[in-house]
Amino acid sequence: MNLTGQKIAILGAGRSGRAAANLALCNGGEVVVYDSGPPEVFDGIGGDVGCHPLATEETGKGCEADVVVISPGIETEGEFASSFAEGAGEFIGETEFASRYFEGLVIGITGTNGKTTTTELVQRMMEAGGKSCEACGNYGRPLSDVVLEKIPPEAVSLELSSFQLETVRTFRPDVAVWLNFSPDHMDRYRSVDEYHGAKQRIFKNQREDDAAVVRFGEEVGEICASRISFSATQPDADYALCGTGILRQGTKVFDLEDTRLRGLHNAENVMAALAAVEAVNVLPDTAVSVFAEYAPPLHRCELVRILDGVEYINDSKATNLHALEAALRSQCRPTVLIAGGKEKGLDYTPLLAVLEGRVSQIVVFGEIRGSLIDIFSQAVSTVGAESLEDAVQCAREASGPGGTVLFSPGTSSFDMFSGYEERGDAYRTIVHALK
C-alpha cells in the first residue's frame, strides 16, 4: 500500500498514533498528527511528521485527508472523530491500517476478559513451536511498530479490544479467538448489542480455511471459519476440563496442577491458547514447558502477600462484572471483597447470587461506592471506605487466618487513578506496608 502523494491524518498523539504516523511516513505519506492536547503531548515525535495540538471539531471540519487513522482511545462516533471523517477518503483504525502491511500469520484475540493472559500464552507457545511471534496490539506494542521491524516476526499474537475492532475493514486473522462476552464499556456504547457487534467484527473477513476458536455456547452469529470450541464447564466442547486436567476431544493434554494458573477462567485461557496454536500446526506438546514457567500478568489474581494467615490478592485488572465474577468463583477460602471505582452504568444485581455464600464482607470505595452499598448489602454486609487505603484497613479487620482479601474492583479506575495498573500498584504498596 504505497502512500506517496497521499495526505494521512492521524488522530491521537499517544502510542498507537505515533506508531501509525511512523508507518505512514515510511510508506510515502504526508503525515499530520492531530490531538486535542497541548503541544507537550507531541514531545519526541519526528520532525517529518506534522503536529497539530489543541485540535477541535472545527479543525476536523477543515481537514481533508486521503486516509484518517484513529487511535483506539478516541470515540469513533464522537464529535471530534466524526468531524475528521467527513472529509476523509477512508476512515480506519491503527490495527486495520497496520494489518495491510503485515504478511505473516495473525492470531487475533478478543473477549471481555482474559485477553492479556491468552495473548501471552499464544506468543510463548508459538515461539516454543519454532515460529517467531510478537505479542502486540492492545497488549504491549501497537501492530504498526511490529510491522516496521527490519525483520518482522512470522506471526503476531494480537490482543484486540472492541475499540480496535470498531474500525476494521479488510483485517482478516488466520485464527480469531473469542474468549467470552459480558457487558462492559457502557459509558462508550449505546447498548450491549452495539458492544457485542464491535467485538464480533473479528470474524468479519475470515474464510473457510481460517479458524475461529470460540467459547462453547457463545453467540457470535454466522461465521465462515472452521470452529473450535472450549469450555471449563461443558464436557462436550472440543477442549474441556476434567478436574484439573485439560482434555482435547476426550484425551488429556495438560494438567493445571503443573502451572501457577488457577481458577476456571485461567483454565479457559489455556484451552483457547492451545486451540489457537494447534490451528496453525503448533502441537500441544510444546505447551508443557511454557505453562510450567508462566506467571499470570500483574493485577490479575496476583498473590501480593500472606500476612497473619490471610492471602491478599490483587485483581485490579477486573474492570467489569464478568472479571469480578470469575475472580470470586476461583476463590476457595473465606473471602473479604474490596470493590469499586468509576461509575460505568453497569448493572451489578446479577452478582448477588455469586456473592452470597462466597463473601463474608464487602468493602466498597470510589465514585460508585453509594450504588454498590445499596446493591451488595442485599446479599452481604457491605461498608464504604473513603480511600483505597481505608478499604484495605477495613478488609484486614474483617478477615481472619485462612481467609482471603480479594481486591477485584469490578469497574474501571479513572475516578481516582490513571488506569488499573496504577490502581493495582497502589493496592500492592498499601498491602506491603501493613504491619
Q: What is the pLDDT of residues 113-128, one digit of tens each?
A: 889 899 999 999 999 9
Percent of the chain with pLDDT over 90: 75
Kindly state the average pLDDT of the residues 62-79: 92
Confidence of residue 181 (pLDDT cuts 50, 70, 90): confident
Whether pLDDT at 182 is above 80: no
Neighbouring residues of 435: CB distance < 8 A, sequence distance ≥ 6: none
Phi, psi (deg, nearest 5) at residue 264? -65, -35
Topology match between the domains 7-97 and 302-432: no
CATH topology of domain 302-432: Protein-Tyrosine Phosphatase; Chain A (3.90.190)
Kindly state the average pLDDT of the residues 185-194: 74
Instruction: Write out pLDDT tens, residues 91-112.
Output: 999 999 999 999 999 999 999 8
Exposure string for 336-345, b = 16+ CB within 10 A, e = fewer: bbbbbbbbbe
Q: For CA atoms 285, 291, 293, 297, give the dihedral sign.
A: positive
The per-residue pLDDT for 207 is: 97
DSSP code of residue 117? H
The angle formed by the CA atoms of residues 333, 337 and 339, to the nearest 5 degrees, is: 155
Give pTM, 2 decimals: 0.76
Q: What is the CATH class of 102-293?
A: alpha beta
Confidence of residue 336 (pLDDT cuts 50, 70, 90): very high
The per-residue pLDDT for 186 is: 57
Measure the CA–CA gap between 41 and 195, rounded to whole angstroms: 30
Q: Which residue has the cell 457487558?
A: 183
Measure the CA–CA gap between 320 and 330, rounded to whole angstroms: 16
CB atoms within 10 A of CB 126: 28
CB atoms within 10 A of CB 46: 11
Q: Where are the domains of the chain?
A: 7-97, 102-293, 302-432
Q: What is the CATH class of 7-97?
A: alpha beta
